[in-house]
Amino acid sequence: MIISRTPFRMSLFGGGTDYPDWYLENGGIVLGATIDKYCYLSVRHLPPFFEHKHRVVWSEIELVNNIEEIRHPAVKAILEDMKFIRGLEISYNADLPARSGLGSSSAFTVGLINALTALRGKMISKKALAQNAIRIEQEVIGEAVGSQDQIWAAYGGLNKIEFHKDGKFSVSPIIMDQENYSSLESSLMLFFTGFSRVAPLIAQKKIDNFRNKEEELNMLATLASSAASSLQDKNYDIKKIGELIHEAWLLKRELAEGVTTKEIDEIYKEGLQAGALGGKILGAGGGGFILFVVPPENQSSLEKRLSKLVHVKFNFDSAGSNIVVFEPEDE
């Protein structure tokens, strides 16, 4: 049996510029981090004693004899792409709900590719893992997704990711001293809004609007660069990060209908009134998790103000997708 553990991510700045429809013409830049909340994929060869050949456990339990019968799009695409012949059992578990703005779909894709590669007794680099996941989601499945989530899941860490016009990407860790790193980590508060959304629908609206939103997208890229510089400045100030993320949210909410809602706007307003410096809905928008930048002295006030929401405490993750159980079998 093989078990992979893959982190969820928080995209802080630059979201939207990571879509190939944008960065292949303009370049792109995002800044964010992975957190210590994970999805787990366990895989093993299924013994030939059952009426079914493959068993896939996610929100459903699928018992099928042929890969083309599998309903989970990523599982089906990856198994076909990797040309598995023997029967498999694949099980998924996660610390947080899917479709909530934390890159869970890409974490699943990355984690499954990693686990299945290990099942064959092979290793895969973080770069190849990210590239394969991007290709599977964008080209094989044909989903309207960007390219940042797969890279976060594979690499882990607090990073700046740059997307180049030739389709390549580069990952640069944000280098901070321990005091400032801890200050940033402890100043971020994550809440679940209680409602999820279908990210590709909102993402497609963003893509359709790219030509009309060039100014906003260029500004989002500029804010991502400014945030990277501010985080690494010797005079680092969390208030500056809060101001930047607030400005970025005001731009993001204009990218497409559905990014925000009346309910989200009310939560955000209450957050600011309780002392948050800024914040944003994570992921494509429309629901899921909302993140606030909050000085320590205002955090209890915010938690009380948003007591109807689930507050999720976290730390940053630095490892990316890992194989945590390796009990190899013969292919």
Q: HSE of 276 in the Cβ direction (CA atoms, 13 Å)?
A: 26
Torsions phi, psi of 245, nearest 5? -70, -30
- Does residue 135 lie in a domain region? yes
Same domain? 191 vs 147: no
Q: Which residue has the higher pLDDT, 285 or 92?
A: 92
- Does residue 331 lie in a domain region? no
- C-alpha Rg value of the chain to the nearest Å: 20
Answer yes or no: is pLDDT of 44 > 60: yes
**CA separation for the pair 45, 331 (Å, rounded):** 8
Same domain? 146 vs 231: no
Q: What is the pLDDT of residue 205?
A: 64
**What would the pLDDT profile of 66-120 be if each residue is shown by its tens digit?**
999 999 999 999 999 999 999 999 999 999 988 788 999 999 999 999 999 999 9
Same domain? 150 vs 36: yes
What is the DSSP code (8-state) at residue 85? -
Same domain? 130 vs 250: no
**What would the pLDDT profile of 230-248 be if each residue is shown by its tens digit?**
999 988 999 999 999 999 9
Same domain? 169 vs 25: yes
Same domain? 288 vs 261: yes
Same domain? 70 vs 132: yes
Q: The domain spanning residue 117 has which CATH number?
A: 3.30.230.10
- Does residue 31 lie in a domain region? yes
| Confidence (pTM) | 0.93
- Does residue 18 lie in a domain region? yes
Same domain? 157 vs 201: no
Same domain? 195 vs 251: yes
Residues 6+ positions from 223 with CB-CB distance below 8 Å: 13, 14, 244, 247, 248, 251
Answer yes or no: is pLDDT of 307 > 90: yes
Q: The domain spanning residue 289 has which CATH number?
A: 3.30.70.890
Domain count along the chain = 2
- Does residue 184 lie in a domain region? yes
Of 120, 97, 129, which Cα lies nearest the Cα of 195? 97
Same domain? 19 vs 149: yes
Same domain? 92 vs 234: no
Domain that holds residue 80: 2-174+317-326
**CA separation for the pair 153, 302 (Å, rounded):** 29
Same domain? 28 vs 118: yes
